[in-house]
Amino acid sequence: MKNKLNAIDLFAGCGGLSKGFIDAGFNIIVGVDNDQAALNTFEKNHNGAIALNADLSAQETFDEIKRIADGKEIDVIIAGPPCQGFSLSGPRNFDDERNKLYLAVIEIVRQYRPKGFIIENVPGMATLYKGQIKDEILKRFRNMGYNIGCKILCAADYGVPQMRKRLIFMGIREDIGSPYFPQPTFTSDNYRTCRDAISDLPSRVDEIGEEVSTYTSEPKTEYQKLMRKNMNILYNHVATKHTKLVKDTIALVPEGGNYKDLPEGWGESRKFNEAWTRYDGNKPSKTIDTGHRNHFHYKYNRVPTIRENARLQSFPDDFIFTGTKTQQNRQVGNAVPPLLGEALGNVLKSIIGEK
């Protein structure tokens, strides 16, 4: 740990971003959130990092992070703050109470003066109020002495079998250097697909499975080998028990199709863009959601299991999710894909340099 750069993860959730930073060679000191179920998963999977359930808008939380850091220098801050308040308060009310969680990240960077930071958010934030929110964030960090840039990145470009886009802010302290973003390692010609990701996992057609089970086949792709590591026990691969109506309805949707492919009179309860979507096995998945049951397996008449969604998010099989199934779905769906996090971590490490 002595030669590793130290990082803290704010609004950590279950820790997808910080998992990527661990794989890039960082030492994660603490993950902060107010979702205890997600923090339980975080603590189980992050090499001894402390999970702190706290309010990030409170000064006491800053003090507690310092106590946990115990004199270690905090080199990097990574964060995924919610930005719902901005859509209500507008650019002229940036300091509105409803934006306090985003403002807390700015304040923590001001207090700790890390060498660099990453903030991730939804792509729509880039154009909210014609970009005025984004521009205000950039201005505030520049006024604090950081070179900062932002860019929308697609996870599939970095080996994640999912078309997930995130807005990434990267800041580097002026005395250290300037930010740049990782070059894509995959293109639309060779994106990893749903089939690449999950075709080795048991079908769960005749039984829903258990939280702890076993593999029934060897890995079939390079990505599956990467995800399995040295595991011989399979966690979190439990199928949802659907009604006959749901199974009969999705059976009528072809691979890659959605509600528009259903015969008249079928699936009337769900008629919106993502309804009755069956993945295309030969393409990356759509953005993994938090368990709304609108996306179905490319082959089987059921929604993906937690483990299948985790694979599509690039969580390795030794990353074990805890809590209820609803909590696990939320943890997976809200996470930053670890492979995207690793790509960002590697770039930050190159800019900042090893100690």
Walk along the chain (355 residues) and give the pLDDT tens digit of each residue. Answer: 457 999 999 999 999 999 999 999 999 999 999 999 999 999 999 989 999 999 998 999 999 999 999 999 999 999 999 888 898 888 889 999 889 999 999 999 999 999 999 999 999 999 999 999 999 999 999 999 999 999 999 999 999 999 999 999 999 999 999 999 999 999 999 999 999 999 999 999 989 999 999 999 999 999 999 999 999 999 999 999 999 999 999 999 999 999 999 998 887 777 677 889 999 999 999 999 888 788 999 999 999 999 999 999 999 999 999 999 999 999 999 999 999 999 999 999 999 985 4
Q: For residue 87, what are the contacts with CB-CB under 8 A and spacing of at least 6?
A: 128
Tokens of 120: 């991730």
CA separation, residue 203 to residues 122, 297, 301, 316 (Å): 33, 10, 10, 19
Give the bridge partners for 27, in sequence order. Answer: 6
Give the bridge partners for 285, in sequence order. Answer: 162
Q: What is the pLDDT of residue 87?
A: 87
Give the bridge partners for 170, in sequence order. Answer: 118, 149
Tokens of 284: 């990356």
CA distance 304 to 296: 6
**Cα–Cα–Cα angle for 207, 209, 213, rounded to 5 degrees:** 140
Q: What is the pTM of this model?
A: 0.96
**Secondary structure in 3-state letters for 292-348:** CCCEECCCCCCCCCHHHHHHHHCCCCCCCCCCCHHHHHHHHHHCCCHHHHHHHHHHH
Q: What is the pLDDT of residue 47?
A: 87
Cβ–Cβ < 8 Å for 303, 240: yes
Summarised one tens digit per residue, pLDDT across range 127-178 is 999 999 999 999 999 999 999 999 999 999 999 999 999 999 999 999 999 9
Q: How are beta strands 146-154 and 165-173 bridged, if at all?
A: antiparallel
Query: How many CB atoms within 10 Å of residue 118?
Result: 25
Q: Which of 83, 150, 154, 194 is catalytic?
A: 83
Q: For residue 289, what are the contacts with CB-CB under 8 A and spacing of at least 6?
A: 274, 295, 333
Annotated catalytic, 83?
A: yes
Q: Which H helix or E strand runs over 39?
A: helix 36-44
Cβ–Cβ < 8 Å for 7, 65: no
Question: Which CATH fold topology does 6-186+336-352 show?
Answer: Rossmann fold (3.40.50)
Listing from the earlier edge strand, what are the strands of the sheet with 116-121?
Answer: 50-53, 27-33, 6-10, 76-79, 116-121, 165-173, 146-154
- From first CA to last CA, the distance across the chain in angstroms is 11
Q: What is the pLDDT of residue 271?
A: 67
Summarised one tens digit per residue, pLDDT across range 93-121 is 999 988 999 999 999 999 999 999 999 99
Q: What is the pLDDT of residue 178?
A: 96
Q: What is the pLDDT of residue 355?
A: 42
Domain locations along the chain = 6-186+336-352
